Chains A and B, each alone.
Chain A
């Protein structure tokens, strides 16, 4: 058997793959947080619970309406995005003029409400969601076994992240968006409906979380705690990367997933803690984060 650093190669590569999958979720979630933060100046604490909602909606579509995985990949982001529009219009919009910390407090409240409701409705035990037949099984690559679905998740996440980056950095819509982030009153003066743009930015950000939720449903059991397990790690990812750069948050997300995977090979007890330790280290040497701008 091939050994790398005294560890069997399949074990090491398997953990790196697991790390990439976690990293894919960190990347999608921190990307959504960064997009929302750029436009609304609010950190969305409810991001994790909307991710969890995405997984639950996928499960509900399958069990109550017989709608399968592929349609859910499109429908769930739309549903979660619609929920985002509702949230933004009703309770988040009144906060733009006050200290951003209140946005964090309010969305923390939203997270508690969503998690409490799902826990009442479905318990904490978790519901299984089958991998769609066309993606089950796997491929023997010679040096390791690659489950098809896991490969699919990494690929889908990479594509969606890249597409988001391209929309924001390379299209006219994205240019307007970035301009509104820099100077909203001026963009308004040019006749752009900035409030509507803000609403759709928020909806887009949480739709990403919903999409991630669908992808996560077959990997983790669908349960009310899955969001909170992710969100705090994602906050650390955001602090490490800084929120100045879209590409930065994608790269940081994937990289930290891999670091976590490697930690679970060499020191399993530290796997839960390593990202927070990286965060502490980054704060020491580069307080504004790897890709952060000032403040």
Chain B
């Protein structure tokens, strides 16, 4: 689980510019709806990676923040008459609020206990969503409007929505990059490498871990809220534990603790799901097989391998 963070150098800048170019060209090559899904999940994986890759806390319950973010954004988009960016922000704040509670409980343990606790607490959130009326149970919240950006620019068209999604993604990307390379981010990496040593240097490691957890939950909620606007619904699937597993897999395939891994992992897995969609449960089998292969053969992920081959840091 290591992300080597040396100087944020020329490599990053070149990588970032390439990424911007790809995002700009992509909607003329691929379906915008597919790309929007990729970008939303990429934000989600970046959020997960902030915690798993840079703080060493692998959560198996991130669907809770993602799903609740989606529900909150969908509900407020339908009922409050607000601009699109506010709906997405409400998704993020809901994720963060839930992150305070779940994070506060789960950072009491580390390692695999942490993974099991987050999974169990997320399952509690799932059962909560099954029971409460505002989620509309099996049907989910349907026909969510895409709203208007700043209350003025309509996002109903797929290109307009694509640029909005891409904009949110780039903002999140820069924010996460800033966090990782801040003194705060360095302390997180120190905690990941050796927590007792970080404690002995005078850092209150619990506070750092909780803040990292809440930030991760915030971005997860943003991702969920954005996805709800893109597809116009929020359902139980997004709070289900399989979604938590999916984000772990995307992060693993892209590369834990890498800056460009999340987008790569999201693109690779979304493409696979798209192609295998007609084959029903074979998607599950393929995902499982990729999990096994990734853990056994390429734990550094796609970007991690590229970094090692080209001796660059991405």
Write the residues of chain B forming the contact surface with A, with a CB cutoff of 8 angstroms: 1, 58, 60, 105-106, 108-109, 111-113, 115-117, 119-121, 123-124, 127-128, 130-131, 241, 245, 248, 252, 280-292, 294-296, 299
Q: Is the CB of B282 within 8 A of A116?
A: yes
A–B Cβ pairs within 8 angstroms, 28 of them: A91-B296, A100-B111, A101-B1, A102-B295, A105-B58, A105-B295, A106-B295, A106-B296, A108-B248, A109-B292, A111-B288, A112-B284, A112-B285, A112-B287, A115-B284, A116-B283, A116-B286, A116-B288, A119-B284, A120-B282, A232-B119, A232-B123, A238-B116, A239-B109, A239-B120, A276-B123, A279-B117, A280-B121
- For the complex of A and B, 9 pairs with smallest distance between CB atoms: A109-B291, A112-B288, A116-B284, A113-B288, A116-B285, A276-B124, A119-B281, A236-B120, A287-B108
B58, B105, B116, B252, most chain A CB atoms within 10 A: B116
Q: Is the CB of B280 within 8 A of A120?
A: yes
Write the residues of chain A forming the contact surface with B, with a CB cutoff of 8 angstroms: 43, 91, 94-95, 98-106, 108-117, 119-120, 228, 232-233, 235-236, 238-239, 269, 272-273, 276-277, 279-280, 283-284, 287-288
Within the complex, the shortest CB–CB distance from B261 to chain A, in Å, comes to: 15
Within the complex, the shortest CB–CB distance from A32 to chain B, in Å, comes to: 15
| B61 (CB) vs chain A CBs: closest residue | A232
Within 8 Å by CB of B281, from A102, A120, A232, A287, lies A120
Number of A-B contacts (CB under 8 A): 124
Within the complex, the shortest CB–CB distance from A106 to chain B, in Å, comes to: 4
Within 8 Å by CB of B112, from A91, A104, A272, A280, lies A104
- Chain B interface mostly: helix
| A275 (CB) vs chain B CBs: closest residue | B120
Q: Is the CB of B112 within 8 A of A43?
A: yes
Within the complex, the shortest CB–CB distance from A9 to chain B, in Å, comes to: 28
Known: A228-B241, A276-B121, A283-B106. 5 other contacts (CB 8 A): A91-B292, A105-B252, A105-B295, A113-B289, A238-B116
Q: Is the CB of A273 within 8 A of B128?
A: yes
Within the complex, the shortest CB–CB distance from A115 to chain B, in Å, comes to: 6
Report A-chain residues with C-beta under 8 Å of the C-beta of B108.
283, 287
Report B-chain residues with C-beta under 8 Å of the C-beta of A111.
288
B58, B105, B111, B112, most chain A CB atoms within 10 A: B112
A236 vs B122: C-alpha distance when bound (angstroms) = 11
Report B-chain residues with C-beta under 8 Å of the C-beta of A105.
58, 248, 252, 291, 294-295
Report A-chain residues with C-beta under 8 Å of the C-beta of B127.
272-273, 276
A272 vs B295: C-alpha distance when bound (angstroms) = 32
Report B-chain residues with C-beta under 8 Å of the C-beta of A280.
105, 121, 124
Within the complex, the shortest CB–CB distance from A284 to chain B, in Å, comes to: 7
Q: Is the CB of A279 within 8 A of B292?
A: no
A277 vs B280: C-alpha distance when bound (angstroms) = 35
Report B-chain residues with C-beta under 8 Å of the C-beta of A95.
295
A59 vs B196: C-alpha distance when bound (angstroms) = 52
A110 vs B288: C-alpha distance when bound (angstroms) = 6
